[in-house]
Structure 1
Amino acid sequence: MFDLKAFIFDLDGVIVDTAKYHFKSWKIIGKQLGFELSKTQNELLKGLSREESLEKILNWGGVSIDRMEKKKYLKKKNELYKGFINNLSQMDILPGVYKLMDFAMIKEIPIALGSASKNAHQILEKLGIKKKFKVIIDGNLTKKSKPHPEVFLKGAEMLGVNPKSIIVFEDSIAGINAANKAKMISIAVCDNRMIENAKFNFNSLEDISVEFLETLSLNESK
């Protein structure tokens, strides 16, 4: 039976809505490249590294640039994004986050972050919750992006926990697929939409009750 030992949270769209700032930043970069990035296309960038996101945008726009130009746009995108998130505070933490963190603290369940963001430490500091995470795996510690399970498997290793005993909270298809590949319990938190491959779907973390977590009993082989 499933034996809960740890939580791993994605960052963007799960703990804080910084996804909109990624979209705004990439949209500006897209316009500079002569390409209009759509919301649908932006969804496909979730969970990807900055470099992989730029490659997709260039491909969508049919644009070819050299390595130095790519570095320039990657730097510009990060500068734009950092400017947008500079004023983040505890007020920006999404509903349900504190409830799950309090539950984890009471049950002595360690919490980890598994994110492609290279600004994760800065964001958690601004939100005032960095100390709540026993382990932080971000884009600076991984070579492969979601849906590859590296970020979650590395989190399990650093926590010293069997991957099958971990619940992952995600909001992207790539993230859910990564959690599934890691043999973890995947919970999608997506407002008004479902991710088909997720083990469970909720509109937000706020909708996940303590009772649900306490009674969660699943076959490890699933």
Structure 2
Amino acid sequence: MQKFKDIKGFAFDLDGVIADTARFHGQAWHQTADEVGTTWTPQLAESLKGISRMESLQMILDAGNHTDDFSQVDKEALAEKKNHFYQRLIATLTEEDILPGMKSFIHSAKVAGYKMSIASASKNAPMILDHLGLANDFVGIVDPATLTKGKPDPEIFVRAAEVLELSPNQVIGLEDSAAGIESINSAGQISLAIGDAVVLSAADLIFSSTADVTLQSIQSKMDKIKSN
């Protein structure tokens, strides 16, 4: 693993890392599942984390054995309907919805000279950051519409490093999903997971809460790994 002093930037997932917009995705996808006749379960909800809109819809259809019940036009209409509902929900976001410790971490990283980008499957990331008051803290946002593959493919985090004009080994990627951690690892970056240590065991660094993520705590974990 690289030394902390070699890190120059951070690439952030958005949902579940910076703000809990995942709950809004859950509400919106739950509504879609009800509409198509798929039973909504905690397992299905978990499997959609970090996955693109059309892939998520397909997973919902597959879970209910409705794979062949909808045309491509129907699927696009369902996805668009879900997004409209989701956008109404995220329009209610304010700075108060930033997850514990993240506002402080982002601002301290910026002051310390680190460059930051967003690597989210959400096409609504610019709107969300604007509502949260964080839009000016990031160098750029990877546009998921320009990607050919979703997580766990490394493409989005490779692009996030390119946005920062940094090599992969100079970047730490932050994620809360197993698919996202796999994406970061495959991109050659240090993976920082936030959440369940068992589910996210493939990560280089694991924090149980966003409140625990600071420059000092990251350095401490990296130094400890290097010394072992």
TM-score (normalizing by structure 1): 0.93
**Cα distance in structure 2, aligned partners of 1:192 and 1:87:** 31
1:166–1:184 contact (8 Å) kept in structure 2 = yes
Query: Contact 1:9/1:112 (CA < 8 Å) preserved in 2?
Result: yes
2:124 is equivalent to residue 119 of structure 1:
yes
Could you tell me which of 198, 203, 211 is aligned with 2:203? Answer: 198
Q: Which runs of 5+ in 1 are unaligned?
A: none
* 1:4 matched to 2:7: yes
Shift of 1:67: 1.2
Instruction: Give the residue type in structure 1 aligned to 2:118.
Output: L
Which AA in structure 1 matches 2:90?
A: I
Aligned to 1:22: 25
Q: Deviations over 1:20-50 (max 9, x none)?
A: 1111111111111111221211111111110
Q: Could you tell me how far 1:191 is from its partner in structure 2?
A: 5.7
Which secondary structure does the structure 2 equivalent of 1:140 belong to?
helix
Q: Partner residue of 1:68?
A: 73
TM-score, normalised to structure 2's length?
Answer: 0.91
What fraction of aligned residue pairs are identical, expressed as a percent? Answer: 37
* Structure 2 unmatched runs, 5+: none
- Return the match for 2:44 from 41, 44, 56: 41
Give the counterpart letter for 2:65 in structure 1: G
Residue 56 (1) aligns with residue 91 (2): no
- Partner residue in 2 for 1:96: 101
Which portions of structure 1, spanning 4 or more consecutive aligned residues, are displaced by more than 4 angstroms?
Answer: 191-194
Q: 8 Å contact 1:113–1:138 — kept in the other structure?
A: no
- Partner secondary structure for residue 57 of structure 2: helix
**Contact map agreement 2:152 2:179 (CA 8 A) in 1:** yes
Offset of residue 209 of structure 1: 3.5
**Aligned equivalent of 1:77:** 82
Q: What is the CA–CA distance in structure 1 between the aligned matches of 2:21 and 2:215, rounded to whole Å?
A: 26
